[in-house]
């Protein structure tokens, strides 16, 4: 690797990416004042109402200014559709453009990580980091204070749940025989209850607000806006990051370590451009092999979901605000007071369920919304309605990220390979039918109109499969492409301390290291990875917390 580039800057630690994990790393690595940190971020400022106003969440993920604009290759099992894969190109990364939903993941997810080779990442190991990062606001909704953190940088709150439909959803779930839970991030994930959001005082509480801004007030932290081309590696050791700033290439030198936190899409791309990845694939692109790691870019996972939409017979949904005047009024109120509809992401009720008897912990997630609308902000033409986003949590399908060329500016090739197994289809049909069962409960009698989507005609397996093929959308939870595992595992990319296997002075710490996708939205576990990786880098550790999660005593015999 060329070292003749002029040195733009140098620090003990260079972090690539200012997103969920990267901002947490910058904050923790600089905390004791002993080490200098440079954060590299290509995207620009997050200032402005589209990002900071929680209800505006459908805008930034559809704006070139804030989003890398990735799309998948044609998906073979979804009729050749190309699915949008938004990733944040802005300070705070994807935490600045996401839906702000806060889910830790189930305790068993992390126990599975440990069983699959990520030693020291069981639930007892990660729970202390969740507590350290959180500033939890119960807001009088009940919950699990002893399971939660009270003085971390990340504010976690709950929406006001003013709309009666939020309560109807939870009540319908219990009428169908399912559990209720006062805090799915506490002891008991399983059941219907309030949803949590990274919103504080009416603003999006991204990692830029929680971690990066406080870190940048310290004299030992610097943010440099530049495009990372590749990692500079000399004699098997990472020495810095080659970047493009303006029109020129430079070196940002790392005196101790380089930490890649560039997302599950960009982190494997950066490793491959640097000669770390499947040797044959690198050779195809004329890239000199530094470390032959066949697992780089593999193991790609995501959550797929469908929106089940129901017309509402009472004019109480958010549709009444879904016009120029309503949006203008909500926006003005938010700008002036940080209150009102603009101050919530509107995901205020949720559920985590088990699909069938014999499943030990939840494998289905629900987001409930009191409007029938799509992520791109297009409301259902029918008018008043409500919807549930539903999908399985642990799909067996696996995809990959690969290089199109050796040009760092080219986006990578993304193949999710969604719905590639029969199990995927069985699980999804079950999700559709289960949602219909919930919407048919007495709690919705006063509100239930006709089914908008998929519609009453779609009853057979074939009709439901057609609906899934045409309408399933990504929940935007890609992960797993630099899998963490035992250092002897040929397909692992990083060891349990997040060190890239086969290269010194280089780590990866973001959602790409997840061995398997966790339950729910991925912002919280991605931040946790940044928190825990920083302790590995600094040679620190937190004592384990042996709190036992609630597991349904009927799990072997019933789905509820």
Strand partners, 399: 300
DSSP state of 77: G
**CA-CA distances (angstroms) from residue 472 to 47, 362, 428?**
32, 20, 10
User: Is residue 272 a known part of a binding site?
Assistant: no
User: Is residue 99 a known part of a binding site?
Assistant: yes
Pair of tokens at residue 554: 């009927």
User: Is residue 373 a known part of a binding site?
Assistant: no
| φ/ψ of residue 488, rounded to 5 | -85, -10
From the list 106, 155, 367, 477, the catalytic residue is: 477
Q: Which of 436, 437, 419, 420 lies closest to 428 in space, CA to CA?
A: 419
Strand partners, 391: 365
- 477 catalytic, yes or no? yes
Question: CA–CA separation, 521 vs 302, rounded Å?
Answer: 10
Contact 251, 10 (CB under 8 A): no
Contact 293, 277 (CB under 8 A): yes
User: Is residue 521 a known part of a binding site?
Assistant: no
**CA-CA distances (angstroms) from residue 54 to 84, 299, 409, 412?**
21, 32, 31, 30
Neighbour count for residue 115 (Cβ, 10 Å): 13
**CA-CA distances (angstroms) from residue 275 to 41, 254, 290, 352, 484?**
22, 18, 5, 41, 19
Distance, CA of 487 to chain centre: 26
ω into 454 cis (within 30 of 0): yes
Query: Could you tell me how many residues make up the chain?
Result: 560
533: CB partners within 8 A, 6+ apart: 21, 25, 259, 497, 498, 507, 509
User: Is residue 101 a known part of a binding site?
Assistant: yes
Supply the residues annotated as catalytic. Answer: 477
Q: Which parts are annotated binding residues?
A: 90, 98-101
Q: Which parts are annotated binding residues for FAD?
A: 90, 98-101
């Amino acid at each position: 690797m060329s070292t003749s580039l002029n040195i733009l800057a140098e620090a003990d630690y260079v972090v690539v990416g200012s997103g969920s994990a990267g901002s947490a790393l910058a904050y923790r690595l600089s905390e004791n004042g002993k080490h200098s940190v440079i954060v590299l971020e290509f995207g620009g400022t997050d200032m402005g109402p589209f990002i900071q106003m929680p209800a505006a969440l459908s805008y930034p993920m559809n704006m070139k200014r804030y989003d890398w604009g990735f799309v998948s290759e044609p998906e073979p099992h979804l009729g050749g559709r190309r699915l949008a894969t938004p990733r944040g190109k802005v300070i705070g990364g994807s935490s600045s453009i996401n839906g702000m939903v806060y889910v830790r993941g189930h305790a068993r997810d992390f126990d599975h990580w440990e069983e699959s080779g990520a030693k020291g990442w069981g639930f007892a190991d990660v729970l202390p980091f969740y507590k350290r990062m959180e500033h939890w606001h119960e807001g009088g909704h009940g919950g699990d204070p002893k399971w939660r953190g009270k003085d971390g940088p990340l504010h976690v709150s709950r929406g006001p749940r003013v709309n009666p439909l939020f309560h109807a959803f939870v009540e319908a779930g219990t009428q169908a025989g399912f559990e209720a839970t006062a805090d799915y991030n506490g002891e008991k994930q399983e059941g219907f209850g309030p949803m949590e959001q990274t919103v504080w005082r009416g603003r999006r509480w991204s990692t830029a607000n929680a971690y990066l801004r406080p870190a940048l007030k310290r004299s030992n932290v610097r943010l440099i806006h530049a495009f990372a081309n590749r990692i500079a590696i000399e004699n098997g050791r990472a020495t810095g990051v080659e970047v493009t700033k303006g029109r020129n290439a430079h070196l940002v030198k790392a005196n101790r370590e380089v930490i890649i936190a560039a997302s599950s899409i960009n982190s494997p791309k950066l490793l491959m451009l640097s000669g770390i990845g499947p040797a044959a694939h690198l050779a195809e692109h004329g890239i000199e092999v530094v470390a032959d790691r066949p697992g780089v870019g593999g193991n790609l996972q995501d959550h797929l979901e469908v929106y089940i939409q129901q017309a509402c017979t009472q004019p109480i949904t958010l549709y009444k605000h879904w016009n120029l005047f309503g949006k203008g009024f909500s926006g003005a109120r938010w700008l002036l007071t940080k209150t009102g509809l603009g101050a919530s992401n509107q995901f205020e009720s949720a559920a985590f369920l088990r699909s069938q008897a014999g499943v030990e912990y939840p494998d289905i997630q629900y987001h409930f919304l009191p409007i029938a609308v799509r992520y791109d902000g297009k409301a259902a033409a029918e008018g008043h309605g409500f919807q549930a986003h539903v999908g399985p949590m642990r799909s067996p399908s696996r995809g990959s990220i690969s290089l199109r060329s050796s040009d760092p500016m080219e986006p990578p090739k993304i193949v999710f390979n969604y719905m590639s197994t029969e199990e995927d289809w069985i699980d999804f049909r079950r999700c559709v039918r289960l949602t219909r069962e919930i919407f048919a409960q007495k709690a919705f009698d006063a509100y239930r109109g006709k089914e908008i989507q998929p519609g009453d005609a779609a009853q057979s397996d074939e009709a439901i499969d057609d609906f899934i093929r045409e309408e399933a959308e990504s929940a935007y939870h890609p992960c797993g492409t630099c899998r963490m595992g035992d250092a002897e595992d040929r397909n692992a990319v990083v060891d349990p301390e997040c060190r890239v296997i086969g290269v010194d002075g280089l780590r990866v710490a973001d959602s790409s290291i997840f061995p398997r996708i966790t339950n729910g939205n991925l912002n919280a576990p991605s931040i946790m990875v940044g928190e825990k990786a920083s302790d590995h880098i600094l040679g620190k550790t937190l004592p384990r917390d042996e709190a036992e999660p609630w597991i349904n005593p009927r799990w072997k015999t019933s789905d509820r």
